[in-house]
């Protein structure tokens, strides 16, 4: 695929696409999307965060997406909407040259290795050197990137998209319109071993992985298959890069997991949860709907109420930290000393 | 490979395979393995954790693997054993349809790219588009997954198994019956650079990686080659997904590393150690045999005695955490204040 | 490639190559590089860390690289230099058999899939089953490992080196002499979604990734493309394995990131920074030049001054840790109790 000429749209077209109120010249044409500070005179910009409102006065943008409360301050033509960040998200796809190129790419590359009993829908793309094993079902519009491996009996829903060098082990089920980035591995064995007092015995991982619709899995993330029963990723779950999801974990719909999150076996995360980068969840926990956990927190107990949870210490200069960290090791003792002082006072 | 019909076994057969004492009808046939709560009437279940004993009364399973102490409570036929979890591990392989399919797959795919001076044993499988470089030695029964890369002079022991898209750099040695999951990279350069005051100079990583027998390496994990001398993974070591093992690390036999563990260069971990998920070990440490480290702990000093070690704080609601984390920064000062109060009291 | 016979050099040759002062027999020939303790009688060793000086007396090495201050203690021929570690780094490449083999490997493998409009310089190597998309530009001496995917319009500078199974998404730019290890994914989508109150809407990631000269990226690391504008990795930045760099991050020249580091979106790390293993940086931060952050620290605020920063608690036996961690949850309350005691005293 090569880059197309830049797309361009009139402000009237965009107002119509986004269902926005247009202030200014609807014939003005924009051919790029940018931030308030980086925008050139042919770009449309957006204001979605109050902290950036100060850049409105000096932006060179042709037009700005913003909330009606900023309409008066805006020195350029404006598209007014209640949720400018959402409008930016929608608009971003109109300025993605790749999107439009790929719509026409629906071939199976001659070097792809495809078993004889594979079901392939309409408009499917299979890239160079991809390997598709027996029993696989690719629904309409599926895209299999070059060098990806799709194991036996995998099912991919309509328009689901594997970037290059993804691996799906046998039997993995992916819903419609889900996206898996390169290097991700779905369905590898869960980490299950029994100890006989001297050595480990592997437990065959007999379950699978079931991924819903509109899920995104980032680069180099791994989602392990279940031991008995499946690992389940609900629809509209968004998973960033370098995430590890162990066997039999369930992630509720609409939850989002930032980079480097690790979730141990059999833990259930609710719906609409947000896990910050590097968060670790121990195994066999229940995390309620609507829980947010801040970055790099470790959670070792179930959480039954929505809310924001944290662990750890803030960072500080190393000299101060060393002194405080030593005191942490004496903290129980310190607490007892305070109790003794209180008794003495009374 | 396509799924075989489900396997089925009589309870008498299973009692014999597992060396268990059978209570009930030996002719009863089971065709699946499940948990006490999920089992259907044709499944065998197991009780390995006291917390689940309450589900015994209501299980629909055809039979249950359990310890003799539960024999009387068990409403179904039972197979009695001292270590039901181990029995479950063994039994799991009898219910793995893949295992049996693959026994017959021992071909070299025509798209695999294999150098002329490669030694290939009996019953070796090489998948589509795999690349095997010169000087490689594949012992009997080795399985190389599709798209995997096996660098020059690599040696793979009997029945060792690479899943698709694994990379072994030149000279890596893997023992017998070891399993490497997809996306894992073994033998990449260790992170070694010397600084000249202005910029970095790479140190060629001249060592290798030596992996013992019965080792498992999870998806997307990386084990770097040594700078001088080898990185060494002892036999029966189990490594989960997303683990990073730096150059010249040694892991003693029978140790297990959960997901997202990171071990810095030249650290030596003893035998029978257990590292929880996300644990970090600094470089150049010695960790004794039998050490357990709980999840997400950072270890920056050697540990000379077996036992359980931890770091960090528990997680808590964010409002409470914020107040406590601020106090952590004042902890040394707080301790001094308490000392002053104690002096004043005396 | 197969191993060449071991290289060998006279001490006089090495002294000349390294610009070192030779003490002893310049005709003495060495054919290996090792540590003081592991060196055999044909090896040259080095002393770069004061802690190892005690091994000088008993080394079996043929010669030692060391600082002049140790010249008198050294029982063997010596090469004297101000920075023996740097000298070791330089010397390591003379003992790397691979380096020399690969100089002659400059072919495009017949199984590589290369689009018709790709620009290929002199002395380029493209491995088996690599896939190169349209518009790619490979400068002189570029090495593309087997099974790697190079997306449309990627540009690779002279002598840049991709190990097997690397993925570069469309439009990624890599400078000269940079090295990307296996399993690394550069240019995957940043983690950007807007919420409409009910579900997520993906934000097309329209930016790219720009990597400078002499950068190294470790195995299984991921660097995401920018949302608007690019993710930028400065020249001479060294990135270890399992690192996650989010969209629109900028890393200043000469900085080094150890394994498992995670950096959230839009954060800017200065020049000559050192991030320890597992460090996490929140998004939208500014980290000054010359900042060092110790292993597994979480940084949630910008850092404006060079220095060493840390977070977390040291590790300790679990029993002690449990008692202290409970007290951490009461730390704000404890501090208030001390304040009350102080008031009472006055």
CA separation for the pair B216, B223 (Å, rounded)? 12
Could you list the pLDDT tens digit for every one of the 346 residues in chain C?
Answer: 334 457 899 999 999 999 999 999 999 999 999 999 999 999 999 999 998 999 999 999 999 999 999 999 999 999 999 999 999 999 999 998 766 455 556 699 999 999 999 999 999 999 999 999 999 999 999 999 999 999 999 999 999 999 999 999 999 999 999 999 999 999 999 999 999 999 999 999 999 999 999 999 999 999 999 999 999 999 999 999 999 999 999 999 999 999 999 999 999 999 999 999 999 999 999 999 999 999 999 999 999 999 999 999 989 999 999 999 999 999 999 999 999 998 887 6
In this predicted structure, the answer to whether residue B101 has a pLDDT above a threshold of 70 is no
pLDDT score recorded for residue C1: 34
pLDDT score recorded for residue A129: 97
Cβ <8 Å between A315 and C316? no
Query: Which of B149, B152, B294 shows the shortest C-beta gap to C318?
Result: B294
Q: Is the dihedral of CA A176, A182, A188, A193 positive or negative?
A: negative
pLDDT score recorded for residue A345: 78
Q: Give the rounded percent of residues in chain B with a pLDDT score beyond 70.
A: 96
Contacts of A277 (CB under 8 A, 6+ apart): A240, A258, A259, A260, A261, A295, A296, C244, C262, C264, C280, C282
β-strands A78-80, A21-23 pairing: antiparallel
Q: Which of residues 23-42 of B touch A (CB under 8 A)?
A: 33-35, 38
CA separation for the pair B170, C164 (Å, rounded)? 11
In this predicted structure, the answer to whether residue B249 has a pLDDT above a threshold of 50 is yes
**Residue at token pair 């968004």:** A238
Which of A18, A47, A239, A260 is the best substitution to test chain C (most C C-beta atoms within 10 A)?
A260
pLDDT score recorded for residue C314: 87
Per-position DSSP letters for C186-243, written without gaps between them: EEEPP--EEE-SSSEEEPP----EEE-TT-EE-TT-EEEPPSSS-EEE-TT-EE-TT-
- Is C180 within 8 Å of chain A by CB? no
Q: Where are the domains of chain C?
A: 9-101, 113-309, 318-346
- Is C266 within 8 Å of chain B by CB? no
Q: Are B325 and A314 in contact (CB under 8 A)?
A: yes
Over residues B256-276, the mean pLDDT reads 98
CA-nearest of A49, A55, A46 to A87 is: A46
CA-nearest of A248, A262, A174 to A216 is: A174
Q: Please identify which of the residues A67, A247, A250, A254 carries the catalytic annotation.
A: A247
Query: What are the chain A neighbours of C307 within 8 Å (beta carbons)?
Result: 317-318
For B290, the token pair is 């039998």
Q: Are B87 and B15 in contact (CB under 8 A)?
A: no
- Is C169 within 8 Å of chain A by CB? yes
pLDDT score recorded for residue A344: 83
Angle, nearest 10°, between helix axes C318-328 and A331-345?
Answer: 50
Residue C311: CA atoms inside 13 Å, Cβ hemisphere, count?
Answer: 24
pLDDT score recorded for residue B7: 84
**CATH code 2.160.10.10 for C113-309:** yes
The size of the A-B interface in CB pairs under 8 A is: 244
**CATH code 3.40.1390.10 for C9-101:** yes
Cβ <8 Å between A220 and C224? no
- Is B143 within 8 Å of chain A by CB? no
Could you list the pLDDT tens digit for every one of the 346 residues in chain A?
Answer: 334 457 899 999 999 999 999 999 999 999 999 999 999 999 999 999 998 999 999 999 999 999 999 999 999 999 999 999 999 999 999 998 766 455 556 699 999 999 999 999 999 999 999 999 999 999 999 999 999 999 999 999 999 999 999 999 999 999 999 999 999 999 999 999 999 999 999 999 999 999 999 999 999 999 999 999 999 999 999 999 999 999 999 999 999 999 999 999 999 999 999 999 999 999 999 999 999 999 999 999 999 999 999 999 989 999 999 999 999 999 999 999 999 998 887 6
Per-position DSSP letters for C28-77, written without gaps between them: -EE-EE--TTT--TTEEEE--SGGGGGGTTT---SEEEE-GGGTTT--S-
Query: Which of A83, A129, A236 shows the shortest C-beta gap to C113?
Result: A129
For B261, the token pair is 């563990």
How far apart, in Å, are the Cα atoms of C86 and each of B4, C35, C74, C262? 60, 15, 19, 29
- Is C202 within 8 Å of chain A by CB? yes
Smallest Cα distance from C58 to chain A, Å:
37
Query: Which of B38, B89, B332 shows the shortest C-beta gap to A203?
Result: B89
Neighbours of A220 (CB within 10 A): 33
CA separation for the pair A239, A263 (Å, rounded)? 12
Query: What are the chain A neighbours of C149 within 8 Å (beta carbons)?
Result: 145-147, 164-165, 182
Q: Are B85 and B52 in contact (CB under 8 A)?
A: no
CA separation for the pair A32, A60 (Å, rounded)? 13
pLDDT score recorded for residue A97: 75
Q: Are B50 and B127 in contact (CB under 8 A)?
A: no
Per-position DSSP letters for A215-239, written without gaps between them: -EE-TT-EEEPPSSS-EEE-TT-EE
Subunits next to A (3 or more Cβ pairs <8 Å) are B, C
In this predicted model, what pLDDT tens digit does every residue of C53-95 receive, in sequence order? 999 999 999 999 999 999 999 999 999 999 999 999 999 999 9
The single-letter DSSP state of residue B136 is -
In this predicted structure, the answer to whether residue B111 has a pLDDT above a threshold of 70 is yes
Q: Which of residues 112-131 of B touch C (CB under 8 A)?
A: 113, 117, 129, 131
The answer to whether A247 is a known catalytic residue is yes
pLDDT score recorded for residue A314: 87
CA separation for the pair A278, A300 (Å, rounded)? 14
In this predicted structure, the answer to whether residue B103 has a pLDDT above a threshold of 60 is no
C138-164 burial code (b ≥16 CB/10 A, e <16): bbebbbbbbbbbbbbbbbbbbbbbbbb
User: Number of helices and strands (H, E) in chain B?
Assistant: 5, 39
Q: Please identify which of the residues B67, B143, B163, B247 carries the catalytic annotation.
A: B247
CA separation for the pair B104, A224 (Å, rounded)? 26
pLDDT score recorded for residue B345: 78
pLDDT score recorded for residue C3: 43
Cβ <8 Å between C165 and B188? no
Query: Which of B167, B262, B297 shows the shortest C-beta gap to C182?
Result: B167
Q: Are C215 and C236 in contact (CB under 8 A)?
A: yes
In this predicted model, what pLDDT tens digit does every residue of A147-202 receive, in sequence order? 999 999 999 999 999 999 999 999 999 999 999 999 999 999 999 999 999 999 99
B12: confidence class by pLDDT, cuts 50, 70, 90: very high
For A13, the token pair is 């077209």
Which of C230, C263, C281, C327 is the best substitution to test chain A (most A C-beta atoms within 10 A)?
C327
């Amino acid at each position: 695929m090569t880059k197309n000429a830049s797309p361009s749209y009139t402000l009237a077209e965009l107002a119509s696409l986004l269902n926005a109120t247009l202030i200014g010249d609807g014939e003005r044409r924009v051919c790029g999307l940018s931030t308030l500070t980086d925008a050139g005179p042919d770009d449309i910009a957006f204001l979605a965060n109050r902290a950036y409102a100060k850049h409105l006065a000096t932006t060179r943008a042709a037009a700005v997406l913003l909330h009606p409360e900023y309409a008066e301050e805006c020195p350029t033509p404006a598209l007014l909407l209640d949720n400018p960040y959402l409008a930016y998200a929608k608009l971003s796809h109109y300025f993605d040259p790749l999107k439009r190129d790929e719509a026409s790419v629906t071939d199976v590359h001659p070097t792809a290795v495809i078993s004889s009993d594979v079901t392939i829908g309409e408009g499917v793309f299979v890239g160079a050197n991809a390997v598709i094993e027996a029993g696989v079902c690719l629904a309409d519009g599926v895209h299999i990137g070059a060098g990806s491996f799709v194991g036996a009996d995998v099912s991919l829903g309509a328009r689901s998209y594997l970037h290059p060098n993804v691996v799906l082990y046998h039997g993995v089920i992916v819903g419609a319109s889900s996206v898996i980035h390169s290097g991700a591995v779905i369905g590898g064995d869960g980490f299950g071993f029994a100890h006989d007092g001297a050595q480990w015995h592997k437990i065959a991982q007999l379950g699978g992985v079931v991924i819903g619709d509109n899920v995104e899995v980032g680069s180099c993330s791994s989602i392990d298959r279940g031991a008995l029963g499946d690992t389940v990723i609900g629809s509209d779950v968004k998973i960033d890069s370098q995430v590890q999801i162990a066997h039999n974990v369930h992630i509720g719909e609409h939850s989002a997991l930032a980079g480097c999150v690790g979730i141990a076996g059999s833990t259930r995360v609710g719906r609409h949860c947000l896990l910050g980068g590097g968060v670790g969840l121990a195994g066999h926990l229940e995390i309620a709907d609507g829980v947010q956990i801040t970055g790099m927190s470790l959670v070792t107990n179930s959480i039954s109420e929505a809310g924001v949870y944290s662990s750890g210490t803030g960072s500080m200069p190393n000299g101060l930290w060393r002194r405080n960290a030593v005191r942490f090791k004496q903290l129980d003792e310190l607490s007892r000393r305070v109790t003794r002082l209180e008794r003495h006072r009374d």
